[in-house]
A and B are shown apart, each in its own frame.
Chain A
């Protein structure tokens, strides 16, 4: 009885602590959403912590249509979709080789791919910036003929950064799949390509889906590379373009709040609709490695 009582109070304390922290986490988001529905004039007069006089969608309209934020959503899609597809395609190939063929540099190869992930982008952005200024691209892509300030450059850097983690996860996942399947494919006379395309890729499908969801949100949320590798305001993805709503002297924080909520929306939708894949993506391949 005594222990039961004790665990009940312990439970209550745990709930209180958890409740406090979840409130602390959620509060800024709710506050942003709340302010995003209020006009600027109300909040300058009454302060941000006040009851609403007007409550409407004007800020959203202004952010999306008048400030033209919708165009930057398209930019984000143009970067994130190819980057994710290329990353998954290349990573699945490496994962296939390192998990199904044994050769001397097998482990070393996997380690190199993963180790690249450990370098923080702040450390490597200057060399990459310089590199991008020296890589030639045709005029159709950039009239300055360099990779700097192109969406292609942004896609490539995302592929390069994400491929390590994707390879690591996918190769771990492949190790959980019985080798016998591959062996019977080889017995049936499948070539390396047929083995990859017709056996391994279909098997990887659940892992690719989960990883795809995770990587889409990561690349979509990127701010750093978009600011560092793009100079043209019109090419920016939504995360970097959000600062377009801020001025030098004057910032309408209600409008900015609406913009922030809009930018947040795709991530939230992805999370709530594909929650299972999202969580699976985080834990995938962790059962055996």
Chain B
């Protein structure tokens, strides 16, 4: 995954000539020979399953759907709210799924690919491949080495903070590099009566971000990936090192974490009642006041073991998959996949969401300072994780692991929790 951003943007000018992109080519190919207009429409009729239910995401969806319509696609949209879509995904894919649907990179994609519930798209990648770096290519392949996924955008996780709050407390975020620096900063805020780390885990998934960071900072990226994929046991003593490191910042986290969702915790940041939050950059969407948003910044999660430094980051990649039903509507579905991989897709969304971050290397670099910080953060990292629930088995991440973390946060014994986690992993049906 290391190469995602290495050559990214510099190649933009070279390929600029082909900016209309593979999408247009693919569209041409699909229409190929159809003389009647309605035959062409029929050929490009695709059903699309969307889990984009946030108001901002709906706006983005509408922007690219309009562009796709202009390119000749007749898209039958099926929008379902995000949580229901995620919870129903098993039935959805085994039932009568839409041809193309929103999904993520990582184990959670490979899981369904290996069950034959998705359609591989090597031929699409032959067209769009030149616009993506090696990291994205690897992230789009199933365990069988075939391409399944079209990446669109991404967002990193980091320590979010408000510049004004740090300035008022005399803390310099750029100097927080080691775990000791981090704890020292926490103590400064605590003395001032500000919650150092806003933390909510009512949803059960929020704390996975903190776990991932502490785990690969403590034990390295390889260990983390082995653990999430079940190649290392939870009873391994290194897991306890992670939990113990986490415990050392418990005094600085919100006490009522299990009563708060992530956005309740973010509200503490917005209201300057808390100093920092370990969260995805999407939290910026909750900063409705432009002045608050301009005050928002991030720094990389601090180093714990110098051997691993700050070499890894969580930056989940979003994109699209083709379901098994796409095989019956192959040419149109694959044409749409190619369109989604092209800059035509990304440019349409960039018009309404200028701060979005793109997987396609031909897209221009963002100008917004917070977006730039995100790009720089990810470019500085050697390894990119997809977030626990995308790197591990879906049926393990939730509810097993999410419940275990909530128990740990409530003060549960980490040794017993780890033992229990391993027992539950072993009891899972073979994937």
A228-B91, A243-B81, A243-B83 known; A248-B288 Cβ under 8 A: no
Bound CA–CA A44/B78 (angstroms): 32
B54 at the binding interface (Cβ < 8 Å): yes
A250/B96 in contact, CB under 8 A = no
B51, B52, B53, B261 — most chain A CB neighbours (10 Å): B53
A3 at the binding interface (Cβ < 8 Å): no
B282/A233 in contact, CB under 8 A = no
Tell me the B263-318 residues at the A interface (CB within 8 Å): 263, 267, 270-271, 280, 282-283, 285-286, 288
A275 at the binding interface (Cβ < 8 Å): no
B95/A250 in contact, CB under 8 A = no
Task: Considering the complex, give the chain B residue whose CB is closest to the CB of A144.
Answer: B96
B54/A243 in contact, CB under 8 A = no
B288/A250 in contact, CB under 8 A = no
A133 at the binding interface (Cβ < 8 Å): yes
A148 at the binding interface (Cβ < 8 Å): yes
B79 at the binding interface (Cβ < 8 Å): yes
Bound CA–CA A234/B97 (angstroms): 15
B370 to chain A, nearest CB (A): 16
- In the complex, chain B residues whose CB is within 8 Å of the CB of A144: 96
B372 at the binding interface (Cβ < 8 Å): no
A246/B78 in contact, CB under 8 A = no
A246/B83 in contact, CB under 8 A = yes
- In the complex, chain B residues whose CB is within 8 Å of the CB of A45: 271
- In the complex, chain A residues whose CB is within 8 Å of the CB of B82: 246-248
A249/B283 in contact, CB under 8 A = yes
Of B56, B96, B283, the contact of A146 (CB 8 Å cutoff): B96
Bound CA–CA A231/B91 (angstroms): 9
Bound CA–CA A133/B96 (angstroms): 8
B81/A244 in contact, CB under 8 A = yes
B328 to chain A, nearest CB (A): 11
Of B54, B79, B95, the contact of A149 (CB 8 Å cutoff): B95
B123 to chain A, nearest CB (A): 26
Bound CA–CA A234/B261 (angstroms): 28
Task: Considering the complex, give the chain B residue whose CB is closest to the CB of A236.
Answer: B80
Task: Considering the complex, give the chain A residue whose CB is closest to the CB of B284.
Answer: A249
A144-B96, A231-B97, A240-B84 known; A249-B54 Cβ under 8 A: yes
Bound CA–CA A45/B280 (angstroms): 21
Proximity string of chain B (64-96) to chain A, C-beta cutoff 8 Å, 1 when within and 0 when not: 000000000000001111111000100110111
- In the complex, chain A residues whose CB is within 8 Å of the CB of B81: 233, 243-247
Task: Considering the complex, give the chain B residue whose CB is closest to the CB of A249.
Answer: B282
- In the complex, chain B residues whose CB is within 8 Å of the CB of A228: 88, 91
A232 at the binding interface (Cβ < 8 Å): yes
Of B95, B270, B280, the contact of A148 (CB 8 Å cutoff): B95
A41-B288, A129-B95, A240-B84 known; A233-B78 Cβ under 8 A: yes
A7 at the binding interface (Cβ < 8 Å): no
B285/A249 in contact, CB under 8 A = yes
B53/A231 in contact, CB under 8 A = no
Size bin of chain A's contact surface? 20 to 34
- In the complex, chain A residues whose CB is within 8 Å of the CB of B56: 250
Of B80, B97, B263, the contact of A251 (CB 8 Å cutoff): B263
A227 at the binding interface (Cβ < 8 Å): yes
B193 at the binding interface (Cβ < 8 Å): no
- In the complex, chain B residues whose CB is within 8 Å of the CB of A44: 267, 270-271, 286, 288
Bound CA–CA A233/B53 (angstroms): 11
- In the complex, chain A residues whose CB is within 8 Å of the CB of B96: 133, 144, 146, 148-149, 231
- In the complex, chain B residues whose CB is within 8 Å of the CB of A129: 91, 95
Tell me the A193-239 residues at the B interface (CB within 8 Å): 227-228, 231-234
Task: Considering the complex, give the chain A residue whose CB is closest to the CB of B267.
Answer: A44
A151 to chain B, nearest CB (A): 15
A247 to chain B, nearest CB (A): 3
B52, B79, B80 — most chain A CB neighbours (10 Å): B80
B270/A244 in contact, CB under 8 A = no
B32 at the binding interface (Cβ < 8 Å): no
B83/A250 in contact, CB under 8 A = no
- In the complex, chain A residues whose CB is within 8 Å of the CB of B54: 247-250
Task: Considering the complex, give the chain B residue whose CB is closest to the CB of A241.
Answer: B81
Tell me the A121-145 residues at the B interface (CB within 8 Å): 129, 133, 144
- In the complex, chain B residues whose CB is within 8 Å of the CB of A251: 261, 263
Bound CA–CA A247/B50 (angstroms): 12
B429 at the binding interface (Cβ < 8 Å): no
Bound CA–CA A247/B88 (angstroms): 16
Tell me the B111-162 residues at the A interface (CB within 8 Å): none
Proximity string of chain B (13-56) to chain A, C-beta cutoff 8 Å, 1 when within and 0 when not: 00000000000000000000000000000000000010111111
A222 to chain B, nearest CB (A): 15
A231/B78 in contact, CB under 8 A = yes
B298 to chain A, nearest CB (A): 16
Interface residues of A (CB under 8 A from B): 40-41, 44-45, 129, 133, 144, 146, 148-149, 227-228, 231-234, 240, 243-251
Q: What are 22 residue pairs bridging A and B, where the CB atoms are less than 8 Å apart in the complex? A: A129-B91, A144-B96, A231-B96, A232-B78, A232-B80, A233-B79, A233-B81, A234-B79, A243-B84, A244-B53, A244-B81, A245-B81, A246-B53, A246-B83, A247-B81, A248-B52, A248-B53, A248-B54, A249-B282, A249-B283, A250-B56, A250-B286
A-B contact sample (16 more), CB < 8 A, given A234-B78, A243-B84: A41-B288, A44-B288, A133-B94, A227-B84, A231-B49, A231-B78, A231-B91, A231-B92, A231-B95, A244-B53, A246-B53, A247-B54, A247-B55, A247-B57, A247-B81, A249-B285
